Amino acid sequence: MTDRYAVVGNPIGHSKSPAIHTAFAAQTGEDILYTALLLPLDGFEHQARLFFEHGGGCGLNITVPFKEDAYRLADDYTDRAKRAGAVNTLKKRPDGSLLGDNTDGAGLVLDLKRHSVPLANRRILLLGAGGAARGVLQPLLEEMPAELVIANRTQSKAEQLAADFSDLGAIRASTFADLSGPFDLIINGTSASLGGDLPPLADTLVAANTVTYDMMYGAQPTVFNAWTSALGAAQTIDGLGMLVGQAAESFYVWRGKRPDVANVITMLKQDRR
Point out the residues that are catalytic. 67
Provide, rounded to whole angstroms, the least separation between the CB of residue 78 and ligand ATR.
Answer: 19
157 sits near ligand ATR (criterion: CB under 6 A): yes
Among 200, 225, 206, residue whose Cα is nearest residue 214: 225
- Is residue 132 within the footprint of ligand ATR (CB under 6 A)? yes
Answer for which of 105, 128, 241, 245 binds ligand ATR (CB under 6 A) is 128
Cα(61)–Cα(258) distance, rounded to whole angstroms?
A: 17
**Environment class of 139 (CB within 10 Å of its CB; exposed 0-12, middle 13-18, buried 19+):** buried
Which range touches ligand ATR (CB under 6 A), out of 41-49, 118-126, 148-156, 204-212?
148-156
104 is in an annotated binding site: yes
Quote the least distance from Cβ 85 to ligand ATR, whole Å: 11
H or E segment and range at residue 151: strand 147-151
Total residues contacting ligand ATR by CB under 6 A comes to 16
The DSSP letter of residue 19 is H
Does residue 130 belong to the site contacting ligand ATR (CB under 6 A)? yes
CB of 151 to ligand ATR, least distance (A): 9
| Residue 65 binds ligand ATR (CB under 6 A) | no
Strand order in the sheet with 185-188: 171-174, 147-151, 123-127, 185-188, 211-214, 235-238
Q: Can you tell me the distance from the alpha carbon of 4 to that of 88, in angstroms, rounded to the nearest whole number? A: 16
Q: Is 154 one of the annotated binding-site residues?
A: yes
Yes or no: say if 205 and 182 are a contact pair by the CB < 8 Å rule: yes
Minimum CB distance to ligand ATR smaller for 145 or for 239:
239
Q: Is 131 annotated as a binding residue?
A: yes
- Judged by DSSP in three states, 254 sits in helix
Give least dist CB 217 to ligand ATR, A. 13
Helix and strand counts by DSSP (H, E) for the chain = 10, 12
In DSSP notation, 222-246 reads -HHHHHHHHTT-SEEEETHHHHHHH
Q: Which stretch binds ligand ATR (CB under 6 A): 17-25, 152-160, 179-187, 246-254?
A: 152-160
CB neighbours of residue 50 within 10 Å: 12
CB of 93 to ligand ATR, least distance (A): 27
**Of 24 and 193, which has the nearer Cβ to ligand ATR?**
193
| Residue 150 in contact with ligand ATR, rule: CB under 6 A | no
Counting contacts by CB under 6 A, is residue 243 touching ligand ATR? no
- Report 190-209 residues binding ligand ATR (CB under 6 A): 190-192, 195, 197, 199
At residue 21, the 3 state secondary structure works out as helix
Radius of gyration of the chain (CA): 19
Annotated binding site: which residue ranges?
Answer: 15-17, 63, 79, 88, 104, 128-132, 152-157, 215, 217, 239, 246
Annotated binding site for NADP(+): which residue ranges?
Answer: 79, 128-132, 152-157, 215, 239
- Residue numbers at the binding site for ligand ATR (CB under 6 A): 128-133, 152-154, 157, 190-192, 195, 197, 199
